[in-house]
């Protein structure tokens, strides 16, 4: 079923769910029945899934998963499953799509539990609405009959040139502030009431909250703000009836006396940023939870970093002049990034260089350049051509279920901002920071972090973001504690507020009492001393008190990271992610290029083990030169070792490069995403053939244990490999059925969940039985609270981020293996990751002081 737009510009919508079609007037809710939320029909469902009524782009409003919007050529199509289902708080609803995802007609969008809705909600009747009827109108509709998914439902007449976007604000606007009084915030019905309240006025009115804005006439736009009860919104109105419209709005929302202002529309963003921190500031002593991006503890003062989105500029002017402007801006940003690469400490140089190289590659990307040039030829300004090009690329990556691709999305938005700032006459540069600054931001971009004065930066806390982002990796390499996904309340903290950032336990303490500040300062002083001691002993082996040797290796993502890792005590590389060689380019690296890179890393490691993971790419990490099928669920599709076997020449070239690294025996080959024995046997046969060809020994072969299947079959797999490497991040994701990229679930996705620990134990037992090395290369290996458990479960190799090597080695030297075994067995019977962490923290406090280093 494809969109049908006739010569009369008519868009046909198809039934998104099975059931009985009703006129909108029969919906048992006055907002929907009165068409306050938009015109359309309703369906009393008989099925349990919602599908796309036409092609479009998904927009997920705030307030739960019970409703979603499809942005189509004819306007916004709102589908609201059931009446008053916002009260279910998402229970019984399973989203199958992401915000910003392009979908095709008939594609499944949402699964729901119809029985649960019938029991808990007033009605399961589902309105299907054209939410902006002023732009388009319904000319034909189905009613009072049974439909199946895909049957004709509505026809919408689309005016020529209609875009569904709101008109621009006038040069002068009035501002007032209101508190949202509705129990469940601005969900569909309250949003419709707000929109209806200004319907009779000649006014352009925008509501702003949480750093977002929405047209107050659009129910969908208001829902998308995600505003909850009690939050403050700013109304910005311009036009003939601006005052009257704001008065009408005050009869729906609660007016807040912050003072009306008359400012230019261009100033409104700055005004909002100035006001927002003091509108919803958390009370003194408040504790805001977040996910740990980089471990550590910091105390300092808040610095709110709210960067206004740069203007792209209007279309028009000479195309050649615009090309010259864009080229000059890109050259300026390129030079700035190369300058940043010269800064920083040796410890962070590799990671810093890797991120900057990714940005430089994107700036020079020929496909992005071609697309921008095409838009310039069509009359776009340099800024608008660059923004549209980068946004389209970022939107494509946002649909992919993979952390690396989301890092790339953030990178695209980062270089978009830098080029636009330069086009507007600005210059990339450092933000001024006070001493001991804890920077707060919605989602810090890599270039923003690299531009900060590291000598004054104590910590970072982001409202959004992920623990696998480039910013998190940079922060860890720089030794800067960081929390991510801490929520919008972070942005309401006033600059200068005293903060304690605990990126060990995962919380931000706002304006703590003096006693607590004193305690934290004393603890920090102790940690500084401990860090000095750890660094001094970093080159010594990591042996437990009772004499068990634990190998502490490093994770590497580029050649530049190897030498700094060795200087911090790395005994080898437990995971080289080879994706950096294959992504962000138009042609596959040939055998000689691969060999040169692997050999340079081997030289930097000076004979220490080098574990090279074969390319972990697929539908979730697309490669321009590698034809891959479109995947409905890339995380469960063609990826890891499956991709290599689907493209045997690519895998063979990589294996040949690994076999040729000198000296023989230094390289170990690691296979990702293994699920059965045949995958291993096929690669081993290839390695044997290649080794004979070059007269070399067959490298040690290992597998990643990152799926429950691999853990459960570990006894079979251990017979055919020389080592296991447990990828705790993916193992936790697949075991707990929680997306690593889901901001709401980020804090709950914990590898110390008892279910994950039991799978680790299975793998370790199987490895021990066959006397092969069992290591962990995922996030748990760098988590001090996980170390006693991993050792107790049988892990003898830890591959960690370089910055954590001294600390992890020092910790191992304080542990007694027999006590770790008892602790691990005890935690396997606990009920949650939180309970496990509580038990480990208490256990660590009970341990005797660390013995002197040998």
> What are the tens digits of pLDDT across the range 764-789?
999 999 999 999 998 899 999 999 99
pLDDT of residue 634: 53
Q: Averaged over 485-508, what is the pLDDT?
A: 86
What pLDDT shows up at residue 612?
96
Q: Which CATH number fits domain 172-278: 3.90.320.10, 3.30.1340.10, 3.30.465.10, 3.40.630.30?
A: 3.30.1340.10
Decide: 131 and 78 in contact? Cβ < 8 Å.
yes
Exposed, middle or buried: residue 259 (CB in 10 Å: 0-12, 13-18, 19+)? exposed
Q: What is the pLDDT of residue 263?
A: 32
pLDDT of residue 820: 96
* Residues sharing a CB contact under 8 Å with residue 801, sequence separation 6 or more, in sequence order: 473, 476, 477, 554, 555, 782
Query: Domain 287-305+431-530 adopts which CATH fold?
Result: Glucose Oxidase; domain 1 (3.50.30)
The span from the CA of 59 to the CA of 221, in Å, is 9
**Is residue 275's pLDDT more than 80?**
no
Task: Say how many C-beta atoms besides its own lie within 10 A of residue 1's C-beta.
Answer: 17
**What would the CATH number be for the domain defined by 319-423?**
1.10.274.10
At residue 199, does pLDDT exceed 60?
A: yes
The burial class, CB within 10 Å (0-12 / 13-18 / 19+), for 784 is middle
Q: How large is the average pLDDT for residues 702-719? A: 95
Catalytic residue, from 54, 461, 573, 777: name it: 777
Task: Supply the pLDDT for residue 560.
Answer: 83
Active site residue 742: no
Binning pLDDT at 50, 70 and 90, where does residue 278 land?
very low
| pLDDT at residue 752 is higher than 60 | yes
pLDDT for residue 767: 96
Instruction: Name the range with the highest mean pLDDT among 70-84, 309-323, 442-456, 552-566.
Output: 552-566
Q: Rounded mean pLDDT of 22-36?
A: 80
Write the pLDDT tens digit of every residue in 109-150. Answer: 999 988 888 888 888 899 998 876 555 788 888 888 888 998
Distances (CA, A) of 65 to 61, 88, 652: 8, 9, 45
Residue 301 parent element (H or E): strand 297-304
Q: Which residues fall within 8 angstroms of residue 389, CB to CB, at 6 or more apart?
A: 368, 371, 372, 375
434 pLDDT more than 70: yes
pLDDT at 271: 33
pLDDT per position as a tens digit, 288-337: 888 888 888 888 899 887 665 666 665 556 888 888 889 888 888 888 88
Taking only Cα atoms into account, the Rg of the chain, rounded to an integer number of angstroms, comes to: 28
> Which residue among 51, 470, 551, 753 is the active-site one?
470
Residue 51 annotated among the catalytic residues of the structure: no
- pLDDT at 350 (0 to 100): 55
* Residue 368 and residue 584 in contact, taking contact as beta carbons nearer than 8 Å: no
The pLDDT value recorded for residue 744 is 52
Over range 629-647, report the average pLDDT: 62
- The hierarchical CATH code for the domain 10-157 is 2.70.70.10
- Residue 172 scores a pLDDT above 60: no
Nearest to 99 by CA among 135, 128, 71: 71
- How many CA atoms, within 13 angstroms, populate the side-chain half-sphere of residue 272? 28
For residues 635-649, average pLDDT: 68
- Cβ neighbors of 85 (< 8 A, separation 6 or more) are 64, 66, 67, 93, 117, 120, 121
Report whether pLDDT(154) > 60: yes
Helix (H, G, I), strand (E, B) or coil at 820: helix
Distance in Å from the first CA to the final CA of the chain: 72
State the Cα torsion 163-164-169-174 to the nearest 10°: 180
pLDDT the model gives residue 800: 93
- Check residue 623 and give its pLDDT: 62
Task: State residue 559's pLDDT score.
Answer: 87
More confident residue, 27 or 184: 27
For the chain, domain boundaries: 10-157, 172-278, 287-305+431-530, 319-423, 537-624+633-846
Per residue in 578-599, pLDDT (tens digit) is 888 887 676 788 999 999 999 9
Q: What pLDDT digit, counting tens, does each position of 365-400 carry? A: 888 888 888 888 888 888 888 888 888 887 766 655
Confidence (pLDDT) at 587: 79
% of the chain exceeding 90 in pLDDT: 30
C-beta of residue 563 within 8 angstroms of C-beta of residue 573: no
839-852 pLDDT, tens digit each: 999 999 887 554 44
Q: How far is CA 675 from CA 679, 704, 714, in A?
A: 8, 9, 10
pLDDT value of residue 5: 41
Fold of 537-624+633-846: TIM Barrel (3.20.20)
**Residue 700 φ then ψ, to 5°:** -60, 135
Residue where the block lists tokens 């002197």: 852
Domains 10-157 and 537-624+633-846 in one fold: no
pTM beyond 0.75: no
Q: Are 82 and 43 in contact (CB under 8 A)?
A: no
Please state the rounded mean pLDDT for residues 558-574.
Answer: 92
531 class by beta-carbon count within 10 Å (0-12 exposed, 13-18 middle, 19+ buried): middle
CB 724 within 8 A of CB 772: yes
Greater pLDDT, 30 or 458: 458
By residue count, the chain amounts to 854
Residues 6 or more apart whose Cβ sits within 8 Å of residue 39: 24, 129, 130, 133, 137, 138
């Amino acid at each position: 079923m494809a969109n049908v737009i006739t010569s009369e510009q008519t868009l046909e919508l198809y039934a998104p769910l099975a059931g009985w079609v009703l006129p909108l007037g029969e919906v048992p809710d006055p907002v929907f029945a009165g068409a306050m939320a938009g015109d359309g029909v309703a369906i009393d469902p008989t099925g349990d899934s919602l599908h796309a009524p036409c092609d479009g782009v998904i927009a997920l409003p705030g307030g739960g998963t019970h409703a979603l919007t499809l942005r189509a050529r004819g306007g916004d199509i709102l589908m609201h499953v059931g009446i008053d289902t916002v009260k279910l708080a998402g229970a019984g609803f399973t989203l199958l799509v992401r915000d910003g995802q392009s979908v095709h007609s008939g594609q499944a969008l949402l699964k729901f539990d119809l029985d649960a809705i019938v029991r808990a909600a007033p009605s399961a009747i589902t309105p299907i609405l054209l939410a902006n009827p002023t732009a388009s109108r319904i000319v034909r509709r189905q009613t009072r009959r049974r439909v199946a998914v895909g049957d004709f439902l509505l026809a919408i007449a689309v005016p020529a040139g209609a875009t569904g976007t709101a008109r621009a604000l006038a040069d002068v606007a009035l501002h007032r502030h209101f508190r949202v009084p509705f129990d469940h915030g601005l969900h569909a019905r309250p949003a419709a009431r707000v929109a209806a309240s200004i319907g009779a006025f000649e006014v352009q009115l925008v509501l702003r909250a949480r750093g977002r804005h929405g047209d107050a006439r659009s129910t969908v736009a208001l829902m998308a703000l995600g505003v909850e009860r009690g939050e403050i919104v700013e109304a910005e109105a311009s036009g003939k009836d601006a005052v009257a419209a704001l008065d009408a709005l005050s009869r729906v929302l609660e007016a807040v006396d912050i003072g009306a202002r008359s400012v230019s529309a261009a100033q409104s963003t700055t005004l909002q940023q100035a006001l927002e921190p003091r509108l919803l500031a958390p009370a003194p002593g408040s504790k805001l939870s977040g996910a740990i991006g980089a471990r550590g503890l910091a105390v300092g003062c808040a610095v709110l970093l709210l960067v206004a989105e740069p203007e792209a500029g209007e279309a028009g002017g000479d195309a050649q002049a615009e090309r010259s402007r864009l080229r000059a801006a890109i050259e300026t940003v390129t030079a700035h990034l190369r300058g940043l690469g010269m800064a920083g400490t040796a410890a962070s140089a590799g990671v810093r260089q890797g991120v900057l190289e990714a940005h430089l590659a994107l700036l020079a990307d020929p496909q992005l350049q071609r697309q921008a040039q095409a838009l310039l030829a069509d009359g776009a300004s340099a800024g608008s051509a660059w923004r549209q090009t980068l946004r389209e690329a970022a939107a494509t990556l946002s649909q992919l279920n993979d952390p690396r691709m989301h890092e790339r999305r953030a990178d695209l938005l980062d270089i978009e901002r830098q080029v636009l700032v330069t086009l507007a006459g600005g210059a990339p540069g450092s933000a001024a920071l006070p001493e001991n600054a804890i920077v707060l931001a919605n989602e810090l971009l890599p270039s923003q972090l690299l531009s900060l004065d590291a000598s004054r930066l104590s910590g970072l806390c982001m409202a959004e973001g992920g623990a696998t982002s480039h910013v998190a990796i940079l922060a860890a390499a720089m030794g800067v504690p960081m929390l991510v996904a801490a929520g919008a309340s972070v942005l309401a903290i006033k600059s200068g507020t005293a903060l304690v950032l605990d990126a060990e336990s995962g919380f931000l303490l706002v304006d703590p009492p003096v006693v607590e500040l004193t305690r934290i300062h004393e603890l920090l002083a102790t940690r500084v001393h401990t860090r000095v001691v750890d660094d001094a002993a970093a080159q010594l082996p990591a042996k437990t008190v009772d004499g068990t040797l634990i190998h502490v290796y490093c994770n590497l993502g580029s050649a530049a990271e190897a030498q700094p890792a060795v200087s911090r005590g790395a005994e080898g590389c437990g995971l080289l992610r080879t994706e950096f060689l294959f992504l962000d380019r138009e042609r596959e690296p040939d055998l000689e290029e691969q060999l040169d890179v692997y050999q340079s890393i081997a030289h930097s490691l000076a004979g220490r083990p080098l574990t090279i993971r074969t390319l972990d790419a697929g539908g979730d990490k697309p490669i321009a030169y590698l034809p891959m099928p479109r995947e409905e669920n890339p995380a469960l599709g063609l990826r890891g070792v499956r991709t290599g076997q689907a493209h045997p020449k690519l895998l063979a070239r990589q294996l040949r490069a690994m076999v040729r690294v000198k000296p023989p025996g230094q390289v170990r080959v690691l296979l990702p995403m293994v699920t059965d024995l045949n995958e291993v046997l096929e690669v081993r046969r290839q390695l044997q053939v290649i080794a004979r060809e070059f007269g070399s020994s067959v490298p040690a072969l290992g597998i990643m244990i990152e799926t429950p299947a691999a853990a459960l079959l570990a006894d079979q797999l251990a017979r055919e490999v020389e080592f296991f490497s447990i990828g705790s991040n993916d193992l936790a994701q697949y075991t707990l059925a929680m997306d690593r990229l889901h901001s709401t679930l980020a804090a709950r996705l914990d590898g110390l969940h008892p279910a994950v620990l039991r799978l680790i134990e299975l793998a370790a037992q199987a490895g021990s039985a066959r006397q092969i090395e069992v290591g962990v290369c995922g996030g748990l290996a760098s988590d001090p609270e996980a170390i006693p458990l991993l050792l107790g479960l049988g892990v003898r190799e830890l591959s960690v981020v370089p910055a954590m090597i001294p600390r992890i080695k020092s910790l191992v030297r304080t542990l007694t293996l027999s006590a770790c075994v008892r602790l691990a067995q005890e935690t396997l019977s606990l009920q949650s990751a939180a309970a496990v962490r509580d038990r480990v923290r208490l256990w660590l406090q009970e341990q005797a002081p660390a013995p002197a280093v040998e």
